Amino acid sequence: MARESESGLPIEPVYGPDALDGWDASEKLGEPGSYPFTRGVYPTMYTGRPWTMRQYAGFGTAKESNARYRDLIAHGTTGLSVAFDLPTQMGHDSDAPIAHGEVGKVGVAIDSIDDMRVLFGGIPLDKVSTSMTINAPAALLLLLYQLVAEEQGVSADQLTGTIQNDVLKEYIARGTYIFPPKPSLRLIADIFKYCRAEIPKWNTISISGYHMAEAGASPAQEIAFTLADGIEYVRTAVAAGMDVDDFAPRLSFFFVARTTILEEVAKFRAARRIWARVMRDEFGARNPKSLMLRFHTQTAGVQLTAQQPEVNLVRVAVQGLAAVLGGTQSLHTNSFDEAIALPTDKSARLALRTQQVLAYETDVTATVDPFAGSYVIEKMTDGVEAAAVGLMQRVEDLGGAVAAIEHGFQKNEIERSAYRIAQETDSGERVVVGVNRFQLDEEEPYEPLRVDPAIEAQQAQRLAELRAGRDQSAVDAALAALKKAAEGEDNVLYPMKDALRARATVGEVCGALREVWGRYVPSDAF
């Protein structure tokens, strides 16, 4: 009896050559590092060097997060990945009334260049690659990073890393938006132009399906809606006068890795193939790097359980293996205790060790694309591709990603998928170890890491001292210049950088843009 995949596609008990009848290997596969990049974006993949091992971290104050980063680097992390608290993600200062109770809770609080200096103190920014999970205020955090690098004597052309900068998925799945879609897309185009001129090695956007998957999207929905967002960003940049090959090589993506290894591998392969075809055929990209779908992967937080949390160590290892077999460029493995609280130092280190075991104790890095030619993998890749392309066409029929968002299409599709998962879990059809089967009569006690509530008062005090010690007239002039650029067509990042250098706060800069661009309010259709 056939099972169904997460995307609702049949999985047969046995596959043979007939599964690939009429299948053209040269068209579907190609060679590693060549169009359509099904087998990976680089010819040698991990046989030359392993993926970048990033550990997502950030909590409390900049000082506490800095200590965690330095510890991770000391234990072999090759890339930092910064989590910001909700007030920072929403463009509010820590002393704003709306920030009360959330300062430092789900990430580090960054209010100004003063905090950014502390966050990266003692970390040579020309030696690390830094990913920042920030969207609506992404430009601000990138500029703060550049300013701190300049103070270290590091030129912008030496900086490597990524800003997530994917605001469209915020309207679909997360909700940490600030401005309406049109000015948000204009800001993203300004970032593309700025980085091409000033920070050429920086990945200017990480187009994210991860959060859609965490909200309940199936693998096919995850890549369909993510690639549809990517198409919208490319169209925005082209409409702003950029040549596709001037910015497309710096685009990157961000996906989840679930415990369903076979479909996840198929999903990653299908995503590469679809993107290569879209960039070549729709946008006429000529640079092979413009056709490459490079992506970061994070193991599935939504699949972690508070019950028997140590079992999450097994889940994370399986999910990490799926990402590696699927050809990810960088990987974050979740800590086993993240369903309970922020990870402890020990659990974060264990998560990193999981990647190191995969890279150095298994043989998955010995050969490029171990699953190529597998009957089941190739059949599933074709199935996921067809399902994703069908969803992408429905987005196009509605007028593109932004129009589909305004219709509530992606959100409604994801909610239907999430409801199906919940029903299957409640009925026991979907087994979750420790939750609906193999439970313990009594859970063992676990002491989680907790954020000190005094952090909010500490950040407020730092802000008071900053405002008392800065040149307010310089701040006012810089913010006025920023608003003028926002009202016209000049690139807003240059006056934004001047304002941040003058010690304007994140909340003040975002507030100036809110005055010009307004604030996004979801329609009742959602």
pLDDT digit string (tens) for 357-405?
A: 999 999 999 999 999 999 999 999 999 999 999 999 999 999 999 999 9
Q: Is the peptide bond before 370 cis (omega within 30 degrees of 0)?
A: no
Q: Is residue 226 part of a domain?
A: yes
Mean pLDDT of 25-52: 95
Between β-strands 3-4 and 10-11, what pairing exists: parallel, antiparallel or unpaired?
antiparallel
Q: Is residue 488 part of a domain?
A: no
* pLDDT score of 57 more than 90: no
Residue 162: partners with Cβ closer than 8 Å, 6 or more residues away: 129, 130, 131, 132, 202, 203, 206, 252, 296
Rg of the chain on CA atoms, in Å: 23
Instruction: Quickly list H helices, 205-260.
Output: 210-214, 219-239, 244-247
pLDDT digit string (tens) for 484-520?
A: 999 999 999 999 999 999 999 999 999 999 999 999 9
Average pLDDT over the chain, rounded to an integer: 95
Please, what sign has the CA dihedral across residues 138, 110, 213, 292? positive
Nearest to 131 by CA among 174, 170, 79: 79
Residue 316, H or E segment: helix 311-325
Q: Is residue 496 part of a domain?
A: no
pLDDT digit string (tens) for 271-289?
A: 999 999 999 999 999 999 9
Nearest to 525 by CA among 398, 393, 423: 398
pLDDT digit string (tens) for 77-123?
A: 878 889 999 999 999 999 999 999 999 998 999 999 999 999 999 99
Report whether 273 contacts 255 (CB < 8 A).
no
**CA separation for the pair 105, 306 (Å, rounded):** 18
Residue 506: partners with Cβ closer than 8 Å, 6 or more residues away: 88, 91, 92, 93, 110, 111, 112, 137, 140
At residue 443, the pLDDT reads: 83
Instruction: Quote the number of domains for the chain.
Output: 1
Between β-strands 251-257 and 205-208, what pairing exists: parallel, antiparallel or unpaired?
parallel
Which DSSP state fits 344? Answer: P
Read off the pLDDT band of 345 (50, 70, 90). confident
CB-count burial class (<10 Å; 0-12, 13-18, 19+) for 467: middle
φ/ψ of residue 303, rounded to 5? -90, -5
**CA separation for the pair 45, 54 (Å, rounded):** 17
Read off the pLDDT band of 526 (50, 70, 90). very low
pLDDT digit string (tens) for 427-447?
A: 999 999 999 999 998 888 877
SS (H, E, C) 436-456: CECCCCCCCCCCCECCCCCHH
Q: Is residue 322 part of a domain?
A: yes
At residue 1, the pLDDT reads: 54
Q: What is the CATH number of the domain that holds 362?
A: 3.20.20.240
At residue 524, the pLDDT reads: 56
* pLDDT score of 525 more than 70: no
Q: Is residue 32 part of a domain?
A: no
**CA separation for the pair 283, 298 (Å, rounded):** 29
Q: b/e string for 135-173 if b means 16 or more Cβ within 10 A?
A: bbbbbbbbbbbbbbbeebebebeebbbbbbbbbbbbbbb
Nearest to 457 by CA among 93, 107, 95: 95
At residue 72, the pLDDT reads: 86
Mean pLDDT of 407-413: 96
Give the rounded percent of residues in the chain with a pLDDT score beyond 90: 89
Report whether 510 contacts 477 (CB < 8 A).
no
Task: Return the amino acid letter for 470.
Answer: R
Q: Is residue 74 part of a domain?
A: yes
What's the domain range around 417?
47-427
pLDDT digit string (tens) for 215-245?
A: 999 999 999 999 999 999 999 999 999 999 9
At residue 182, the pLDDT reads: 96
Give the rounded percent of residues in the chain with a pLDDT score beyond 70: 99
- CA distances from residue 194 to 160, 184, 478 in whole angstroms, order as listed: 15, 15, 18
